[in-house]
Amino acid sequence: MKKKLDATDRKILALLQQNAETPLADLALAVNLSSTPCWRRIQRLREHGFITRQVALVDARKINLAVTAFVAVRTNQHNQAWFDSFRDAVRDIPEIVEFYRMSGDVDYLLRVVVPDIAAYDAVYKRLIRSVNLSDVSTSFAMEELKFTTALPLDYAD
């Protein structure tokens, strides 16, 4: 059975999405609960899969990953064996940080982070060595205008 979220659960999730290291006492105060009931709600949110993991967000520029490339991939092969090979190739390239199967003209979209164009070229060559692609088109982000990992909670039941 799927757990329903109430307003308190949504508030807890919103606060944790902003800072997962927020002390329990501060979370409890913000949602008008004592610490133990707040902690129990957080545990239930984990058990029901609303909270899947906690991570540290690293500043890409500080670790020399200032270039973001969006790679649109088209293929003329739509079979499971080809897909498995492509998926495995993408998983083996750490610079590819997002991977989506798309509708429309593009079959797959990748987000790649690298220090510079030469590093992107090395990623591109590694990818095309691993799997047969019919068309690859890359666009480089000129400026990041919005970046968030926080999901909107208004749609949660």
**Do both 32 and 97 map to the same domain?**
no
**Do both 118 and 86 map to the same domain?**
yes
**Do both 33 and 66 map to the same domain?**
no
**Do both 91 and 119 map to the same domain?**
yes
Mean pLDDT, residues 15-37 taken together: 97
**Do both 32 and 66 map to the same domain?**
no
* Mean pLDDT across the chain: 95
**Do both 12 and 77 map to the same domain?**
no
**Do both 16 and 41 map to the same domain?**
yes
**Do both 73 and 123 map to the same domain?**
yes
What is the domain-level CATH number for residue 94? 3.30.70.920
Output the CA–CA distances (angstroms, integers) from residue 112 to 13, 22, 30, 63, 80, in the order listed: 28, 30, 37, 14, 24
Q: What are the structure tokens assigned to 123, written together?
A: 């990623």
Q: What is the pLDDT of residue 18?
A: 96
pLDDT > 80? residue 2: no
Residue 1 within a domain? no
**Do both 65 and 128 map to the same domain?**
yes
**Do both 78 and 106 map to the same domain?**
yes
Pairing of strands 135-140, 67-74: antiparallel
Name the pLDDT band for 140 (thresholds 50, 70, 90): very high
141 Cβ partners below 8 Å, 6+ apart? Answer: 67, 68, 69, 70
**Do both 37 and 78 map to the same domain?**
no
- From CA 156, how far away is CA 140, in angstroms rounded? 33
What is the domain-level CATH number for residue 11? 1.10.10.10
User: How many domains does the structure of the chain reveal?
Assistant: 2
Range of the domain at 15: 7-47
**Do both 80 and 18 map to the same domain?**
no
Tens of pLDDT, residue by residue over 89-119, are 999 999 999 999 999 999 999 999 999 999 9
